[in-house]
Amino acid sequence: MAASENLVSRVLRQPDVTFRYSIADWDLLVRQARSAGLLARVRHVLAQHDMIEAIPAEARWHFDAAATLADKQQLAVRWEVQKIREALAELAIPVIVLKGGAYVLANSPAATGRLFNDIDILVPRDQLGPVEAALLLAGWHPTSLSDYDQRYYRRWMHEIPPLQHVQRATVIDVHHAILPDTARYHPDPDKLRSRAVAVAGLPGVYVLSPEDRILHSATHLFHDGELPHGLRDLTDLDLLLRDAAVDRDFWLRLIARAEELQLCRPLFYALRYLRYFLDTPIPDSVMASLQAFAPNRATLVLMDGIFTRVLAPMHTSCADALTPVARLAAFVRAHWLRMPVHLLIPHLFHKAFISPYLDNGTPKAA
C-alpha cells in the first residue's frame, strides 16, 4: 500500500508518538488535521490521554479553537433538528437523522470533536413533496444549482438538492434512500426504518440502529465520488465500531445485517481501510467471513492503490504522484456504481466539459 507521511492517522492510532515531535512535526500535524477536518478530534484524543499539556504553546490554540467550534456545532445541530422537527410536525412522518447529526442525537463517541457541513435526514419517498414544501415554508430554500444539477438530483439521485436556511445558513440534505435507485445495490429504506431508534425528547425524530448507522457510513464512504472528509468519516466509523463492539455478539449482528441489506462489499472495504489507517480492533474472524465479499485480487490491488491515497488528509504532504489519478479514479468508480453506463457517460461528459464553463459558483451535484 502507498505510504505517505500521514501524521494524523498516526497520532490517532498512537497519540504518544507526539512526545517525540519536533516543532516542524507539530506544524505539519496541525496543517494535515485542519485539511482533514480533524483538529478538534485529534485534540479530543490527546485530551483522553492527558496529553494537552504536551502540545507546544504555539500550536495549542489551533486545537482549542477547533474544539470551540465543534462544541458550538453540537449545540447547533440539536437546535436545527428541533427546528426541522417543528417544521415537519404536521406531516406526522418519521424523520430519521443520518450521519453526524445522528451521532450527536445518539450521544455517540463519534460526535466528539466532529465538525459538520450539513444535516442529513431520511424521509419516506412519497412524502418528499410535502417535506420540501414544509421546509421551504420554515425558511430552508434550495441552493442555487444549475438547471442541469437540479434535474440530475431530482431524476437520478437518492436525495433532493441541498436546502439552505435563509437566516441561519444551515444546510439540510433530504434523502429518500441511502443510495440512488440506479446504483448496483440499493437497500430498501423501509428495512432501515423498521429498526430505527426513537430519539428521547424529540417525538417523531429517529436515528438508525447502531449496525445500520455503521453500514450507512461505510456505504456512503465507498460510494461517494468526492472524499474531502474521507479520513474524518473513517474515524467516525472507528469510533462507532469501538463503541458498539463492547456488545459481545455485535460483530455477528453487523455481518448478518450487512448480508440482509446487500452491503457486505462496502463493509469489507471499510473494515480493510480502518485497519490500515486507524488500527481499529476488528476480529480476524470477521475479516475472514467477509472475504467471500471481497473483489478479485487484481481489483483489490487497484482499490488499495486508490483508497490508501484518497482517504488520507487532502494535503500536499500526504500526496504522491499518483494521488490525482487516484482521486479521479475514486470519482469515476463512485459514479460507475451509482448509475448504468448509458447514464454515466453523458453525466461525466457534462461534468467535465460543460459545467466548468457555466461558472455559477455552485456546489457540485455529484
Partner 1 sequence: MKLLQLSPSDLRQQLAGEGVWLRTGPFSLRVRSRLPHVAEGLTDLYGQFEVRNSRQAFADFHVELNPPSTLRRWFRPQVDFSFDGTLPFKPLPLDQAYPMLEWGLNWCVSMHAHHYLIIHAAVVEKNGLAAILPAPPGSGKSTLTAGLVLSGWRLLSDELTLIDRKTGLLHALPRPVSLKNQSIDVIRAFDPEAFINRASHDTAKGTVAHMRPPRDSVLRQHEPARPGWVIFPKWEADADTQLTPHSKALTFMFLAQNAFNYSHLGADGFRVGTALIEKTECYDFKYSKLHEAVAAFDRLAASNQTALS
Tell which one of 2, 59, 93, 136 touches partner 1 (CB under 8 A).
59
- The nearest distance, CB 120 to partner 1, in angstroms, is 22
Q: Which of residues 311-340 bind partner 1 (CB under 8 A)?
A: 314-316
Sequence-ordered list of residues with C-beta below 8 angstroms from that of 74, at least 6 positions apart, any chain: 104, 111
Interacting span for partner 1 (CB under 8 A) from 57-65, 126-134, 152-160, 329-337? 57-65
- The nearest distance, CB 7 to partner 1, in angstroms, is 14
What whole-number distance in Å separates Cα of residue 289 and Cα of residue 10? 28
- The nearest distance, CB 231 to partner 1, in angstroms, is 15
Tell which one of 16, 71, 86, 190 touches partner 1 (CB under 8 A).
71
Q: To 10 degrees, the CA torsion angle through 9, 11, 14, 16? A: 170
Q: Which of residues 4-43 bind partner 1 (CB under 8 A)?
A: 23-24, 26-27, 30-31, 34-35
Sequence-ordered list of residues with C-beta below 8 angstroms from that of 253, at least 6 positions apart, any chain: 211
DSSP H helical ranges for the chain? 7-13, 23-35, 39-48, 57-88, 99-105, 128-137, 147-156, 189-194, 210-223, 230-244, 250-260, 264-278, 284-290, 297-310, 323-338, 341-349
Asked whether 93 and 135 are in contact (CB, 8 A), the reply is no
Tell me the CA distances in angstroms from 178 to 17, 54, 182, 273, 365, one per residue in order: 38, 42, 12, 21, 16
- The nearest distance, CB 169 to partner 1, in angstroms, is 10
Cα distance from N-terminal residue to C-terminal residue, the chain: 28
Interacting span for partner 1 (CB under 8 A) from 187-195, 211-219, 309-317, 349-357? 309-317
- The nearest distance, CB 58 to partner 1, in angstroms, is 5
Looking at the Cβ atoms of 51 and 59, the one nearer to partner 1 is 59
Sequence-ordered list of residues with C-beta below 8 angstroms from that of 250, at least 6 positions apart, any chain: 210, 211, 244
- The nearest distance, CB 68 to partner 1, in angstroms, is 5
Tell which one of 17, 75, 166, 358 touches partner 1 (CB under 8 A).
75
Tell which one of 52, 69, 93, 344 touches partner 1 (CB under 8 A).
69
How many residues make contact with partner 1 (CB under 8 A)? 24
Which cell goes with 98?
443520518
Looking at the Cβ atoms of 194 and 316, the one nearer to partner 1 is 316
- The nearest distance, CB 113 to partner 1, in angstroms, is 14
- The nearest distance, CB 348 to partner 1, in angstroms, is 22
Is 202 a residue that touches partner 1 (CB under 8 A)?
no
What whole-number distance in Å separates Cα of residue 83 and Cα of residue 79? 6
Looking at the Cβ atoms of 58 and 190, the one nearer to partner 1 is 58
Tell which one of 1, 14, 16, 61 touches partner 1 (CB under 8 A).
61
Burial of 199 (0-12, 13-18, 19+ CB in 10 A): buried
Q: Which residues bind partner 1 (CB under 8 A)?
A: 23-24, 26-27, 30-31, 34-35, 56, 58-59, 61-62, 64-66, 68-69, 71-72, 75, 314-316
